[in-house]
Structure 1
């Protein structure tokens, strides 16, 4: 089965055929760096990490760029508030972004272009648009003439006559039409600027991506990604700019990930419900975030709530517990994978391939993972005596999970250590000390040794009331936070 991608421009699932196989050129709109990035900003980062991984799994050679917008009104305004320079501010938050990115355990991009490193390409592109009759200079600004691009609206479905009817009265006398947008902005007094043929100034937001893409990849790319909120006007304007320069089809496949809903509400400053990735990772594992993002389809609105976090923790615990169990049997000479269980994983992998080839259907892929976990847990249990059959099932299971995890950039943590980390996070939320649980479990072990089963049952009930599940094995008791 060949890969099919939902193209936001055609509104159809299309078979993926790159412009120059096996090479794939992929560009994703990155952050405007003026503060810590919130959890919504990283959804696309996680999603397109998987897209790149899957394309490479299929044998493509992917060149992947994600940009930094390091000059912008928001950056200039915040730098003024903090009494620093826009350059110092943007470099600080690029570094903070990279810390969060590293904490998520994702693969680095091939290119991270910055706007400030692309000024000559930007001014060259603006000059070409003027030459091609697509743009005009006015009082040091350069505006794109929407009327000059007959295909405007082909991505968003918003056409100029409808936009014109809905436009407010535009008091900007520099524009020929209220819909025209800035390619170059004349510098205001005291504002950071760069030289240009139209005087000192800085680029408009949209031209930046067009110029950086052309600088790295040339006139056409295979995949352009970003959040759905960028379809209009940002990506619509990119098309007008790039195709206005070259006359060639700019992007073959447009991919857009949906937004995060924060407890049923859109994340916004006005609601005061913005959570930065840094804040989230101080209280939760990166695996929790990646599970939350990848266990739902990238084009579906994703709920970001306490309940969603709990579901992610529960799912991770099921997978990592099974991995820890499998590893516990990997002692002595490890045998080959058990052929019967390996067939289960092969069948599951076929379903995973089918799901991911269908527009990156991660929910179905995770369902196949869960089925393999269920099969493993039904055949291998804690406390069983090690033998070649159990070892063979454990080998096949671990190979499968790690292969799946490599695609998702997940399940690479040492299972036993990760489960302790997961339990510690849950204990912290429950305001329960690990040492207190250990003390009760030790007291119960002593009661069992003394055959004081009434006391043992009483202590089990106490542990259960604290949210602790305890299992009695031949070599002692095992406890974990109930999930």
Structure 2
């Protein structure tokens, strides 16, 4: 990248700096370096975050952005104790939303007309249409052809559904195999990903056309991808601009689902939410003031930002990514539908729309320039300025928003707030821009437009991720860098979680045995002065704070916790006072809660752990006594003698606790087993087998694990993902060994069968069918060749060896009795 002149950045005025404020440096996209973090007001942070464009469910790429922002917000608020005012916008009107909402509305109306016509024609059976009408099939055929001609130009026009698959494989097979569209050796990219998406949509629709008698619901689900744009092309002009409900019905649903997803990920709700559709008049006023200040011009009902006028007054455009200011593709993406218009009227090629004249089928609001709607970038400028004022501390979003979205925001907002009479503009609207890096899986960036994403709710519901596990992975990466989900990173996240989980279990176990402990884990007392582990805690707390002060360096902070736990686990119990163990666990508990790794409130000092670190409360009255009973049974069985009386009073083993109480049933069943074994006079090994079955099957199926420990009571703990994985790995290894043995056995049997099959031939006959020989002895060995000449001795010797091998095979065959 060529060197680009750095635009000026002004730190907040020194009189606003709190001398007691933490010494934080943060990576600022405005300077592309780490800069000291000085809020405009002491101990208060004003923050505007670009929220979602709500026309589809949020995916894991969105999770990376919003969870990372939530982590930084928590660090500022809960660790550094700033009062954070966090404002987030909801983009509920833009080109993508307008198109998606209108298409869905028009398709629904079209299908409603079809259903009504079908009911009048021949009725319905059990609520399902008897057949797809010829009209729908014809319209779908037209839609498929239109879709293919626009998005898959290599295909022949009017390709029949029967030939679609063959034609697609012929023209685009190389793309499906991972090559570029041009097939010239260049690596594939987004263009090829889009082709694959279009092929899938078109192929699915073509296959639907071949179904003999599908239900309307099934047929439409397969053909929606081609029907949506086609029906829209026929009917878009029927949608009225002031009928905003057509558009907000989609956005309200997905906004609600977005915040449900954020709640599931333990992302805190914004202090204030702003929506574009609620800011129509304010946005008009905002644009009008920019125009009045001399930095915008109108053309055919649309208003454009005048970059030349702004720079002529000393302003900067593209402050965040100046190297992209002439990137036509990125500029076109920012302009959306307007890019298709003749742009010769523009005073500069990079000038962008502040206000767009609405076309038929688009929502509209009244304005001095006629009916129109906000440009993409103006919404954030107007809403952030309305809520946070002329200047605020932090603006955040994904790195893909830096240009043109945030660069355009900066230019138009500073043009709004500047004084037209000034000879030079110099207002700084935002002091710190925080841009989070992309998330990719197997090297591919997630994208709604490419339809290659995994939604948040899908990932959580299918068990691919837990909210904690996903957040841990994000914490292990730097918030501003790209993050690729790899198997190694997933393993690292699981290992970190398991390490912390085991640490909490260990300390809680020590606390549970506190009446039997005098100062530490083994009954020895420890001097009251600070021990090495106390000093390690002090050092860890300092390093942790340094990491978070260094641009919220969570990977380093996570390592601090790991190293502290490793040091604790490496120190003999007798050298660690219980109070020290509790101090370590309390601090780590506080930090993991601060990071948002638990949706439950942080427990009081002295109580350690996070949710999922203990078995359910309803299980404890049954499982804890059961664990103690099992410990006594194992102890006696290992000693070689069972004393039922010494085991203690049994419960009434005939009591039925009910099928809805599996923990109680587990307790009662084990008692019945012990009593039954005692009545039969069973050997100790049978009791040990019962104890293992309770641990490995009964309680495992209740998501509880008993960890047997030498010289200590068994540790009762919930099953973790790593424990499940360890068991799955063991079972996989065992299954692999069993399969290998079975294969070896089968191979040996096959070899034996082949050997016996070869042995069917009597060695006396083995050479007689060979035309190479003319005479043989009484054992069938050749003596003369085909011309009657005696065979050479070396030749006879070799034939004799072959004959002897066959003789052994034949004898084995005869011995097998298979003849």
C-alpha displacement at 1:330, in angstroms? 2.5
Moved more, 468-477 or 285-294: 468-477
C-alpha displacement at 1:389, in angstroms? 5.8
Alpha-carbon distance in 1 for matches of 2:441, 2:278: 35
| Aligned match for 2:375, one of 189, 193, 204 | 204
- 1:324 and 1:416 in contact (8 A); partners too: no
Which residue matches 2:322? 157
State whether structure 2 residue 69 is matched by structure 1 residue 69: no
Moved more, 393-402 or 4-13: 393-402
Q: Which has the higher strand share?
A: 1
* Distance change >3 Å, CA 324–CA 164, structure 1 → 2: closer
C-alpha displacement at 1:263, in angstroms? 1.6
C-alpha displacement at 1:319, in angstroms? 0.8
Alpha-carbon distance in 1 for matches of 2:405, 2:442: 28
Moved more, 58-67 or 151-160: 151-160
Alpha-carbon distance in 2 for matches of 1:379, 1:455: 35
Q: Deviations over 1:193-245 (max 9, x none)?
A: 11111112110110000001111010111111111111100000001110111
Runs of 4+ in 1 over 6 A off after TM superposition: 164-170, 332-338, 445-448, 451-457
Which structure 2 segments of 5+ residues have no match? Answer: 1-21, 109-245, 333-338, 419-426, 521-527, 601-608, 617-661, 698-703, 727-819
Which residue matches 2:708? 472
Residue pairs, 1:57-456, within 5 angstroms: 57-83=79-105, 85-150=246-311, 151-158=316-323, 162=326, 171-173=342-344, 175-247=346-418, 248-268=427-447, 273-282=452-461, 283=463, 284-331=465-512, 340=531, 341-379=533-571, 391-411=578-598, 415=610, 417-418=612-613, 449-450=684-685
Task: Work out the number of aligned pairs and report it.
Answer: 458
Alpha-carbon distance in 2 for matches of 1:14, 1:125: 31
- 1:348 and 1:369 in contact (8 A); partners too: yes
* Distance change >3 Å, CA 354–CA 330, structure 1 → 2: same
Which residue matches 1:17? 38
Alpha-carbon distance in 2 for matches of 1:81, 1:349: 55
Alpha-carbon distance in 2 for matches of 1:448, 1:226: 68
C-alpha displacement at 1:163, in angstroms? 5.0
CA RMSD of aligned residues (A): 3.9
Moved more, 353-362 or 57-66: 57-66
Q: Deviations over 1:258-293 (max 9, x none)?
A: 101112222235765311111111112100111111
C-alpha displacement at 1:120, in angstroms? 2.0
Q: Deviations over 1:277-336 (max 9, x none)?
A: 111111121001111111111122111245433332222121112112222233377999
C-alpha displacement at 1:419, in angstroms? 7.5
Q: Classify the secondary structure of the residue corresponding to 1:41.
A: helix
Alpha-carbon distance in 2 for matches of 1:73, 1:264: 28
Q: Deviations over 1:410-444 (max 9, x none)?
A: 146665735779xxxxxxxxxxxx99xx9xxx9xx
* Distance change >3 Å, CA 288–CA 18, structure 1 → 2: same
Which residue matches 1:428? none
Alpha-carbon distance in 2 for matches of 1:13, 1:92: 39
State TM-score, norm by structure 2: 0.51
State TM-score, norm by structure 1: 0.83
Alpha-carbon distance in 1 for matches of 2:407, 2:569: 50
Structure number with higher relative contact order (C-alpha < 8 Å, ≥ 6 residues apart): 1
* Distance change >3 Å, CA 163–CA 264, structure 1 → 2: closer
Alpha-carbon distance in 2 for matches of 1:188, 1:418: 57
Which residue matches 2:190? none
- 1:469 and 1:481 in contact (8 A); partners too: no
C-alpha displacement at 1:375, in angstroms? 2.6
- 1:376 and 1:393 in contact (8 A); partners too: no
- 1:8 and 1:253 in contact (8 A); partners too: yes
Which residue matches 1:45? 66
Alpha-carbon distance in 1 for matches of 2:417, 2:519: 57
* Distance change >3 Å, CA 41–CA 179, structure 1 → 2: same
Moved more, 342-351 or 199-208: 342-351
Which structure 1 segments of 5+ residues have no match? Answer: 382-386, 422-433, 463-467
Alpha-carbon distance in 2 for matches of 1:477, 1:38: 39
- 2:706 and 2:714 in contact (8 A); partners too: no
* Distance change >3 Å, CA 153–CA 409, structure 1 → 2: same
* Distance change >3 Å, CA 165–CA 75, structure 1 → 2: closer
Which residue matches 1:429? none
Q: Classify the secondary structure of the residue corresponding to 1:65.
A: strand
- 1:405 and 1:411 in contact (8 A); partners too: yes
Moved more, 358-367 or 69-78: 69-78
* Distance change >3 Å, CA 415–CA 25, structure 1 → 2: closer
Alpha-carbon distance in 1 for matches of 2:395, 2:58: 21
* Distance change >3 Å, CA 377–CA 130, structure 1 → 2: same
- 1:70 and 1:116 in contact (8 A); partners too: yes
C-alpha displacement at 1:50, in angstroms? 2.2
